[in-house]
Structure 1
Amino acid sequence: MTEMPTGPGTDRTDLATITYLPGAGPATDASTTPAAPALGGMTEPTDRAAVVESARRVLEGRVTPAPVELEKVDDLDLDAFDARPLIPAWAKTPEGWAMYSGVLYRSRLRAYRRWVRRQRTDRGHVAQFKRGARRVQDWVVGFEGIQAQALAHQAHTAAKEARAAARAARFTPALMKKKKEVALREADRTQTVAMQAVTAHKKAKQYRRTMRSLRCGAAYGPPLSAIGAGYLQAGWFGASAGAFATFAGGAFAGRHVITEETDWSADWRSLGDGDPMTAPMLDNCFQAAKVIGADESLAIIQMPMLDARGAWSAVVDLPPGIPAKKAMRAHAELASAFGVEEAQLSITKSKAKGARAGRLELYVSKELPFTGDVDPGPLLALEAAANFWGRIQIGPDVRGLPISISVVERSGLIGGEPGAGKSASGNTILLAAALDPRVILWLADGKGGGDLEPFEPLCEYYEGAADPEAFDEMLDAAIRDMKHRYALLKKLGKRKVTEELANKYPELRQKLLWVDELMLYTTDEDFGKKITKKLRNLVSRGRAAGIITFCATQKPGSDVVDTSLRDLLSIRWALRCTTPEASDTILGKGAAASGYSAKTIEPEMRGAGLLWAEGSNPVLVRADYYTDEQVKELLERAHDLRAKAGTLPEGPKSLADQLREKGEDDAQVLAVLLDVFNAYDQDAKADDENAAVDWLPGTVLVDALKAAGLDITPEKLARLVVREADEKAKRAWEGSKSALNGYPLAAVLRAVQSKYGLTA
């Protein structure tokens, strides 16, 4: 223990040091303990021992404190104090104020140093102003440039196609008339498409310039105005104030740090998250889908590009030895890797020049395709008649490009689950056929629901009662007409019906046989097998004769459509199906395994289906939609076109007219004979309603045939109209003195039935 002297003797430096060991103190003294001496005041050397002894007693706890008497104050209020802060009095002294000034100076100095250090980081005001300027510039530039770039690419591609088509048309020899016409039409079409693409590109560039100018004025106009107004008002000081205000605004706009992905693989992102399609992303997605190995990569043929619809497209080559069908089979896995729905991803084999077995075209839609509003169908804008011999526009694909097909010498099958849009999809073909006044319509409605009823006034043959027996008779009539067409082609020395022949010979006009809900007819116990056999005969042989057959049903399985018939239908259109197996029954076995399954079509994509008409791969297409009012408008237009062309159906034809349609000499003779009997019968009924003419002299018939321009002898007439023994008896005739040989009406009708299978 060290004791400091408290007296005024400051010159003393010696200290008394006492070491006290607990438990080793002196023996207890029972005598009266003297009071401890006061520690204050002078301490003489003679009193040093007393001081030490008093300290020892204090440490041993043997000093008893003296009692203290406290004075009690009755009226003391502890809450009675003024509102002044509890500031020590020394704080108001010069020393206190100096201390406060020092603290403030040091805190401001530290703040300034922190500000200086911060300027070198991304939190500095200069860095903030740079980020703000970048954000403002990005907003001014906008995204219209991407659309202009995509349209520029489309215009460039369309111009190349137009030049190639024009070159092909120019160098096609004029001797090849048909190919020359096709080449000229293709050149005109591609030139129109190219001009439209160039016009769209120019409009996109003009729109980009306009929007950028507006945003530039909104972004840079206020700062320039502030600087200019400050200079005019206060000179360079005002200009500096405006510049400082501009700097402060830019720093405020860039106060948040811009985070950019530098390593895409570090944090898995996808197109569904809004990231752009890049080459590393494609490699990672194909590797994740197990299409390529972890150490393999794709060859980028066309760099990923964003089109005007906000969709990404690219053309890639798979590594050597990996076929395209492997990637197409992994359609679902690739869609998952891209972060989109299966319907948003389109994978097709490249059809461009120089295509390879491992080259793929990728197209990823921004949103689920075919779920927005439907554009008006192209037939509404058609002013003239349609041409069913040309290409028929079906609808747009996922890229928005129109898809068209040719049905000449073709037949088709449309299938899908109930509610998938078969009737609305079929209208694209039916309306195109109705608007061509040269096409003969034969329709059969297996549902009996009235979907085809608006077309009935334009049909030459219509079965709308869902009656298998009536449909069987309809097929018999179609087969007879097919035979007569082939007979006429053989007589003309032609192999098949062409547009020129159809225009020259009305009996060879195109005929569309449309069967809706085929399942009702083919599954009938009495007529199902007969109908299947006749349909197979008609589909396999009727193409060259100008007869086009289309069938629509919900599930064209082998129990509904025999495979021998289904395989003959060359155009397949699979709308949404519930299972991949159901899709394969329409598109063919193995289509789903190759990546083409109508099961991937979402319910919201009504009217969309996989169309396999031309090329090696099906294409996802949504049929052009026409409302009931639009269908009625188009059919009224079709009725007027057919009325002007004289091709409206005339109802049931007489037996004589049916014979004239055969185009044979014997049929013409029999038709004249029936007309003569009908004329005499009408004259007889004018006098007596119950009268009937069932026999005419041979001389009357021969004279009528010669008057009609048919040179026929009585012997040839007798060989054509064979009479039985009792029918050869002579009869009396008005104006003749003797009985005459003649022909009964029954013999003529018998000859018509035996030779042509027609009955009255």
Structure 2
Amino acid sequence: MTEQPTSPSPDRTDLATVHYLPSAAPATDTSPVPAPPALGGSVPEDKAAVVESARRVLEGPVTRTSVDLTKDEGDLDAFDDRPLIPAWMKSSEGWAMYAGVFYRARRRGFRRWVRKQRTEHGHVAQFKRGTRRIHDWAIGFEGVQIQALASQAHIAAKEARVAARSARFTPALMKNKKEVALREADRTQTVAMQAVAAHKKARSYRRRARNLRMGAAYGPPLTAIGAGYLQAGWFGATSGALATFAGGAVAGRQTFTEETDWSQDWRTLGDGDAMSSRMLDDVFRAAKVIGAEESLHIVQMPMLDARGAWSTIVDLPPGIPAKKAMRAQSELASAFGVEEAQLTMSKSKAKGARAGRLELYVSKELPFTEKAGPGPLLALEAAANFWGRISIGPDVRGLPISISVVERSGLVGGEPGAGKSASGNTILLAAALDPRVILWLADGKGGGDLEPFEKLCEYFEGDADPEAFYDMLMAAIADMKARYALLKKLGKRKVTEELANKYPQLRQKLLWVDELMFYTTDDEYGKKITKALRNLVSRGRAAGIVTFCATQKPGSDVVDTSLRDLLSIRWALRCTTPEASDTILGKGAAAAGYSAKTVEPEMRGAGFLWAEGSNPTLVRADYYSDEEVEELVARAYELRAKAGTLPEGPKSISDQLREKGEDDAQVLAVLIDAFAAYDQAVKADDESAAVDWLPGTVLVDALKAAGLDISPEKLARLVVREADEKKKRTWDGSTSALNGYPLAAVVRAAQTKYGLTA
């Protein structure tokens, strides 16, 4: 850029050249720009000078100066003597911003330091590790050598005493043996003295070395604290203590795990270690599931859930099925350092499942030993739905398990005290809280576990009577045939919830048999009961009849295999042997890794439930105390009372006769009602009085009043009397004896013709 000279001097002929550096431009002036002066100035002299300068330039006498066109980068750090620090940092705003950044950084650092103090990297933890390491170094390892020398000295001294005793009591007449014994005594004595001397020397060396290390380890801290106290009192002692603390923290900065137990190389989940891919490989190799050179493929990385349990999904090496690992549950649990019940294995059901894909779940503690929570039925305000899913209880992960019993039948088994009664309450209470379900219960134990449900039952056998239970089964089979007859009339194949709601005769019926073994092993009725149950289980599903059996060990001697195989829902509680578990879950279940023998006695109410899916699930039944059962049964009674589905009481002979719908049955019902009316009338005056005979004319009048016109001859043919019952008697108000009928003859006629009982 060239600038015209504005000086009035006529002698100046050169032009000034000004260079502006890009990085050092002048500061921008925001003040108003003054108007440029007129060309040549404002006076005539200046104007003349400008004209003269222009003339000289045109004529060429003015020497032109060379212009430097090279780019000058300039000094990028021209504003400060320190690199990359702008000059505005020296201003008040810059210093304030720098101070704010420093404050926030220190504040975050302090917060991190506070959080770190609660971990193994805190200064207190570091100081503990440091003091332990320093102490271990000061103690040293000479004690091992001393113990070995002490053992050697003890053995040598013992041998020397034995040799000396032998030399002493060897007779002098036996010169050769005496000399040998003396030489052996001298040798052993020398060896013993050398061993004792070596032991003393080692002890002296250990004492000297330990004192030196103790002095080196504890001398400086004590000196620092003591010297600080002498120089500056308690302030100096505190400074020395802080310096000692800092030194110990520096010595313990590095964490250690192997040093926790130097004698143990194998770490497991039972020791509190985290599950890792390396641990999984070591565990499966130790259990002989995979080879020494094989490894697992991790599909889902090991994760720790909120319950403190580890879970993962792995793929076994090619050619190894998941069942092989499940059969080695005991070996795998041992390698993990946990109980068998803490290890749960199953074939993964996730998308992309394979025959060699295995899902592992290792509980932190033995599952199902904590106190059971309240059952879900306690929170149920409305009626239950037995047509839907029934809550059974939680699995090992705490997830609720539910099943459907529609068109199903079940078997519950386990050793005594395994919790069969408490487990059965989950199904019984769900059925009781649905007022549409008909309950038929049989208690083969006769102990009263089913007694709270008796007032809800249409049929109840609680005396462990095989004959009464057989009669119950016959009545159930008759009801099943009536249901199928109605379904055939309606043109339906099976009972549905809509049909059951429309036709009360088709309501769901639950037949629950507790301690089935008592019934099926009876000499007289055992085979009949098994045959009837098999008929009911195989054919009653579509008719809406659900059958559940509970027993201790459902072997072939207790439950025939033809009946046991029809029971689709299996629940195996704790068993004493794998074979007993297989009798419930089916042959081969224990070999596949599903054995109720692994259920510990502390896991009361827990067992393998095989209801839906391809694998059994370890479940603990929801627990309801006796008080809670009574509360729920009372609620079920109210629901059934409102719905009008409470079971009817024992029916009289007259009611049973009216249900027959025949003319003769109606006649006999009226006759029995007439006797009951006269009997009630005489008891109003005398409670001990009874009417057991009525004249024939009175009975014929009662029949006519009921709309039944029957002659005395037909009545005599219907109610057959014995010879002594035909005797005439006097009647109230009559002057002569009348021909009549005793009550016993009428009841006998009803029993003989229709087989009814009072």
Q: Same fold (TM over 0.5)?
A: yes
Query: Structure 2: which amino acid aligns with 1:402?
Result: P
> Which whole-Å CA distance do the structure 1 matches of 2:680 and 2:264 have between them?
101
The answer (yes or no) to whether the contact 2:329–2:593 under 8 Å persists in 1 is yes
> Which whole-Å CA distance do the structure 2 matches of 1:517 and 1:752 have between them?
37
> Which whole-Å CA distance do the structure 2 matches of 1:728 and 1:669 have between them?
14
Query: Structure 1: which amino acid aligns with 2:329?
Result: H
The answer (yes or no) to whether the contact 1:672–1:704 under 8 Å persists in 2 is no
The answer (yes or no) to whether the contact 1:412–1:551 under 8 Å persists in 2 is yes
In structure 2, what is the equivalent of residue 445 of structure 1?
443
> Which residue of the other structure, out of 390, 394, 397, is the alignment partner of 2:395?
397
> Which residue of the other structure, out of 635, 642, 661, is the alignment partner of 2:640?
642
In structure 1, what is the equivalent of residue 39 of structure 2?
none
Query: Structure 1: which amino acid aligns with 2:256?
Result: T
> Which whole-Å CA distance do the structure 2 matches of 1:690 and 1:724 have between them?
17
The answer (yes or no) to whether the contact 1:371–1:605 under 8 Å persists in 2 is yes
The answer (yes or no) to whether the contact 2:121–2:255 under 8 Å persists in 1 is no
In structure 1, what is the equivalent of residue 408 of structure 2?
410
> Which residue of the other structure, out of 592, 598, 601, is the alignment partner of 1:600?
598
> Which whole-Å CA distance do the structure 2 matches of 1:752 and 1:271 have between them?
77
CA offset at residue 528 of structure 1? 0.7
CA offset at residue 699 of structure 1? 14
Taking a change above 3 Å as real, the CA distance of residues 525 and 282 of structure 1, as seen in their structure-2 partners, is: same
Say yes or no: does 1:690 pair with 2:688: no
Taking a change above 3 Å as real, the CA distance of residues 459 and 538 of structure 1, as seen in their structure-2 partners, is: same
Taking a change above 3 Å as real, the CA distance of residues 604 and 371 of structure 1, as seen in their structure-2 partners, is: same
> Which whole-Å CA distance do the structure 2 matches of 1:692 and 1:591 have between them?
71
Query: Structure 1: which amino acid aligns with 2:307?
Result: R
- Deviations along 1:98-155, one digit per CA (max 9) or x if unpaired, are xxxxxxxxxxxxxxxxxxxxxxxxxxxxxxx9x99895264799xxxxxxxxxxxxxx
> Which whole-Å CA distance do the structure 2 matches of 1:547 and 1:600 have between them?
34
Q: For 1:395, what is the secondary structure of its paired residue?
A: strand
The answer (yes or no) to whether the contact 1:657–1:671 under 8 Å persists in 2 is no
- Deviations along 1:360-415, one digit per CA (max 9) or x if unpaired, are 11000000111111111111111111111111111111111111111111111111
Query: Structure 1: which amino acid aligns with 2:573?
Result: L
> Which whole-Å CA distance do the structure 2 matches of 1:564 and 1:338 have between them?
41
Say yes or no: does 1:307 pair with 2:288: no
CA offset at residue 703 of structure 1? 9.2
Q: For 2:412, what is the secondary structure of its paired residue?
A: strand
- Deviations along 1:8-62, one digit per CA (max 9) or x if unpaired, are xxxxxxxxxxxxxxxxxxxxxxxxxxxxxxxxxxxxxxxxxxxxxxxxxxxxxxx
The answer (yes or no) to whether the contact 2:654–2:673 under 8 Å persists in 1 is no
Taking a change above 3 Å as real, the CA distance of residues 745 and 488 of structure 1, as seen in their structure-2 partners, is: farther
> Which residue of the other structure, out of 244, 265, 268, is the alignment partner of 2:266?
268
In structure 1, what is the equivalent of residue 649 of structure 2?
651
The answer (yes or no) to whether the contact 1:684–1:691 under 8 Å persists in 2 is no
> Which residue of the other structure, out of 430, 433, 443, is the alignment partner of 2:431?
433
Query: Structure 1: which amino acid aligns with 2:420?
Result: K
- Deviations along 1:216-243, one digit per CA (max 9) or x if unpaired, are xxxxxxxxxxxxxxxxxxxxxxxxx999
Query: Structure 2: which amino acid aligns with 1:258?
Result: T
> Which residue of the other structure, out of 416, 419, 422, is the alignment partner of 1:421?
419
In structure 1, what is the equivalent of residue 353 of structure 2?
355
In structure 2, what is the equivalent of residue 382 of structure 1?
380
Taking a change above 3 Å as real, the CA distance of residues 687 and 283 of structure 1, as seen in their structure-2 partners, is: closer
Taking a change above 3 Å as real, the CA distance of residues 404 and 254 of structure 1, as seen in their structure-2 partners, is: farther
In structure 2, what is the equivalent of residue 543 of structure 1?
541
Taking a change above 3 Å as real, the CA distance of residues 752 and 637 of structure 1, as seen in their structure-2 partners, is: farther
CA offset at residue 527 of structure 1? 0.8
Taking a change above 3 Å as real, the CA distance of residues 378 and 242 of structure 1, as seen in their structure-2 partners, is: farther
The answer (yes or no) to whether the contact 1:444–1:463 under 8 Å persists in 2 is yes
Taking a change above 3 Å as real, the CA distance of residues 669 and 638 of structure 1, as seen in their structure-2 partners, is: farther
Taking a change above 3 Å as real, the CA distance of residues 657 and 253 of structure 1, as seen in their structure-2 partners, is: farther
Query: Structure 1: which amino acid aligns with 2:570?
Result: R
In structure 1, what is the equivalent of residue 78 of structure 2?
none
In structure 2, what is the equivalent of residue 631 of structure 1?
629
> Which whole-Å CA distance do the structure 1 matches of 2:444 and 2:438 have between them?
19
- Unaligned runs of 5+ residues in structure 2 are 1-109, 123-236, 683-690, 721-744
Taking a change above 3 Å as real, the CA distance of residues 333 and 392 of structure 1, as seen in their structure-2 partners, is: same
The answer (yes or no) to whether the contact 2:414–2:552 under 8 Å persists in 1 is yes
Query: Structure 1: which amino acid aligns with 2:255?
Result: I
- Deviations along 1:327-364, one digit per CA (max 9) or x if unpaired, are 11111111111111100000011122222222111000
The answer (yes or no) to whether the contact 1:574–1:587 under 8 Å persists in 2 is yes
1:4-403 superposed matches below 5 A: 135-136=116-117, 138=119, 252=248, 255-256=251-252, 257-260=254-257, 267-403=265-401
The answer (yes or no) to whether the contact 1:522–1:531 under 8 Å persists in 2 is yes
Q: For 1:443, what is the secondary structure of its paired residue?
A: strand
In structure 2, what is the equivalent of residue 6 of structure 1?
none
Taking a change above 3 Å as real, the CA distance of residues 265 and 749 of structure 1, as seen in their structure-2 partners, is: farther
TM-score (normalised: structure 2)? 0.59
Q: For 1:314, what is the secondary structure of its paired residue?
A: strand
Say yes or no: does 1:552 pair with 2:581: no
- Deviations along 1:73-122, one digit per CA (max 9) or x if unpaired, are xxxxxxxxxxxxxxxxxxxxxxxxxxxxxxxxxxxxxxxxxxxxxxxxxx
> Which whole-Å CA distance do the structure 1 matches of 2:349 and 2:451 have between them?
41
Query: Structure 1: which amino acid aligns with 2:117?
Result: V
1:449-528 superposed matches below 5 A: 449-528=447-526
> Which whole-Å CA distance do the structure 1 matches of 2:238 and 2:601 have between them?
59
Q: For 1:356, what is the secondary structure of its paired residue?
A: coil
> Which whole-Å CA distance do the structure 2 matches of 1:501 and 1:657 have between them?
28
> Which residue of the other structure, out of 541, 560, 563, is the alignment partner of 1:562?
560
In structure 2, what is the equivalent of residue 46 of structure 1?
none
Query: Structure 1: which amino acid aligns with 2:650?
Result: P
> Which whole-Å CA distance do the structure 2 matches of 1:503 and 1:250 have between them?
81
Query: Structure 2: which amino acid aligns with 1:650?
Result: E
> Which whole-Å CA distance do the structure 1 matches of 2:331 and 2:607 have between them?
21
Q: For 1:648, what is the secondary structure of its paired residue?
A: coil
In structure 2, what is the equivalent of residue 585 of structure 1?
583
CA offset at residue 512 of structure 1? 1.1
Taking a change above 3 Å as real, the CA distance of residues 454 and 358 of structure 1, as seen in their structure-2 partners, is: same
Taking a change above 3 Å as real, the CA distance of residues 242 and 513 of structure 1, as seen in their structure-2 partners, is: same
Query: Structure 1: which amino acid aligns with 2:530?
Result: T
CA offset at residue 429 of structure 1? 1.0
Taking a change above 3 Å as real, the CA distance of residues 289 and 456 of structure 1, as seen in their structure-2 partners, is: same
> Which whole-Å CA distance do the structure 2 matches of 1:267 and 1:135 have between them?
29
> Which whole-Å CA distance do the structure 1 matches of 2:695 and 2:356 have between them?
79
Taking a change above 3 Å as real, the CA distance of residues 564 and 746 of structure 1, as seen in their structure-2 partners, is: same
The answer (yes or no) to whether the contact 1:303–1:315 under 8 Å persists in 2 is yes
The answer (yes or no) to whether the contact 2:440–2:509 under 8 Å persists in 1 is yes
The answer (yes or no) to whether the contact 1:380–1:634 under 8 Å persists in 2 is yes
> Which whole-Å CA distance do the structure 1 matches of 2:640 and 2:257 have between them?
66
Query: Structure 2: which amino acid aligns with 1:373?
Result: K
> Which whole-Å CA distance do the structure 1 matches of 2:489 and 2:706 have between them?
28
In structure 2, what is the equivalent of residue 201 of structure 1?
none
> Which whole-Å CA distance do the structure 2 matches of 1:654 and 1:728 have between them?
19
> Which whole-Å CA distance do the structure 2 matches of 1:506 and 1:418 have between them?
38
- Between 1:645-654 and 1:342-351, the stretch displaced more is 645-654
Q: For 2:367, what is the secondary structure of its paired residue?
A: coil
The answer (yes or no) to whether the contact 2:345–2:358 under 8 Å persists in 1 is yes
The answer (yes or no) to whether the contact 1:469–1:527 under 8 Å persists in 2 is yes
- Deviations along 1:454-498, one digit per CA (max 9) or x if unpaired, are 111111111111111111111111111111111111112111111
Query: Structure 1: which amino acid aligns with 2:340?
Result: E
Percent identical residues: 73
Q: For 1:303, what is the secondary structure of its paired residue?
A: strand
CA offset at residue 637 of structure 1? 1.3
In structure 2, what is the equivalent of residue 148 of structure 1?
none
